[in-house]
Amino acid sequence: MLQLAGTLRPLPWRATRDPWAVLVSEMMLQQTQALRVVEPWRAFLGRFPDPAACAAAPVGTVLEAWAGLGYNRRGLQLHRAASAVVQRFAGRIPADEAELRRLPGIGPYTARAVLAFAFERDVAVVDTNVGRVLARAVAGVPLEPWPAAAQQLADRLLPEGQAWAWNQSIMELGATICTARSPRCTTCPLQDTCRWVAAGRLGPDPWRPASRQGPFHGSDRQGRGRLVAALRRGPLPLAELAAAAGWDDDTDRARRIADGLVADGLAVCDEERLRLP
């Protein structure tokens, strides 16, 4: 049994069991460092304290509140999930994995996180930090196929009745000690049982690195972010798309990116202008 000990960082979502607050934190934490999420999470819940408040707001208002977090599609999906919760569950986040996964933008990981951290159900939650700890300390070899093998191992290790503490602890360990680069093995509570340490950390790192995206600078992702940032300031004439996206000499590319925003529900095009929904 993998037992963990240590002090958790006082992240504010760790002090609540409100399912909506937990769901908001999980959506914000996707591909974003925890400390960057703290203030946006507080501000977002101040504006939208429950699913009903979020669902009642225009999509554009929710996207405005998402400023600074990146990956704006997550804000759109959160608004859609809130609307579904109001329509299907009278505004209450369901405590059932299958029902959670039927909500827009909610996959297996997020559903399990809500169950473990809001409802304290006995489910293991596996993200990249957890997978890294399991591969190095427990398996000593890459967990393939990812993430199914990591999830199966975590399910076997999860101590009954301790899901909240166990999941939070192993995530904290991966985020602060068993990091992808320069792991702090000498301060790790698992150093005496870690298979990678026992092997002298020789050979390949058992952690299977996640596939890397291409460079952000100059990418379509950067252009999308710039356009959404511009739209938060107000409607944007189509003639100004290229400049707003940072590609003064590539109007076709800027228009393609704008069309993608419209297709994804992140923008609306009317009267030769692009605006938030």
Question: Does 90 have pLDDT greater than 80?
Answer: yes
Are the C-beta atoms of 69 and 32 separated by less than 8 Å?
yes
pLDDT of residue 2: 63
pLDDT of residue 263: 87
Which regions of the chain carry the CATH code 1.10.1670.10?
A: 128-198
| Bridge partners of residue 237, in order along the sequence | 273
Q: Which amino acid is at 61?
A: T
CA distance 182 to 259: 42
Question: Does 53 have pLDDT greater than 90?
Answer: yes
pLDDT of residue 26: 97
Residues assigned a catalytic role: 26
Per DSSP, 236 falls in state E
CATH class, domain 220-275, is mainly alpha
What pTM does this model have? 0.84
Question: Does 210 have pLDDT greater than 60?
Answer: no
**If one looks up domain 128-198 in CATH, what number appears?**
1.10.1670.10
CATH class, domain 18-117, is mainly alpha
pLDDT of residue 216: 77
Question: Does 52 have pLDDT greater than 90?
Answer: yes
Which pLDDT tens digit goes with each residue over 225-275? 898 889 999 999 988 888 999 988 888 888 898 888 888 888 999 888 999
3-state secondary structure (DSSP) of residue 244: helix
CA atoms 225, 217, 259, 84: torsion sign: negative
Write the DSSP string, 41-105. HHHHHHH--SHHHHHHS-HHHHHHHTTTS--THHHHHHHHHHHHHHHHHTT---S-HHHHHTSTT
Kindly provide the residue ranges of all beta strands, DSSP E only, lying in 139-257, ordered along the sequence: 236-237
CA distance 98 to 258: 34
Q: Which amino acid is at 53?
A: A
Percentage of the residues of the chain whose pLDDT score is greater than 70: 95
Which pLDDT tens digit goes with each residue over 144-175? 998 999 999 999 999 999 999 999 999 999 99
Residue 14 tokens read as 């760790």
CA distance 132 to 206: 8
Which pLDDT tens digit goes with each residue over 102-126? 999 999 999 999 999 999 999 999 9
Q: How confident is the model at residue 221 (pLDDT cuts 50, 70, 90)?
A: confident
Which regions of the chain carry the CATH code 1.10.10?
A: 220-275
Are the C-beta atoms of 89 and 95 separated by less than 8 Å?
no
pLDDT of residue 57: 97
Q: How confident is the model at residue 212 (pLDDT cuts 50, 70, 90)?
A: low
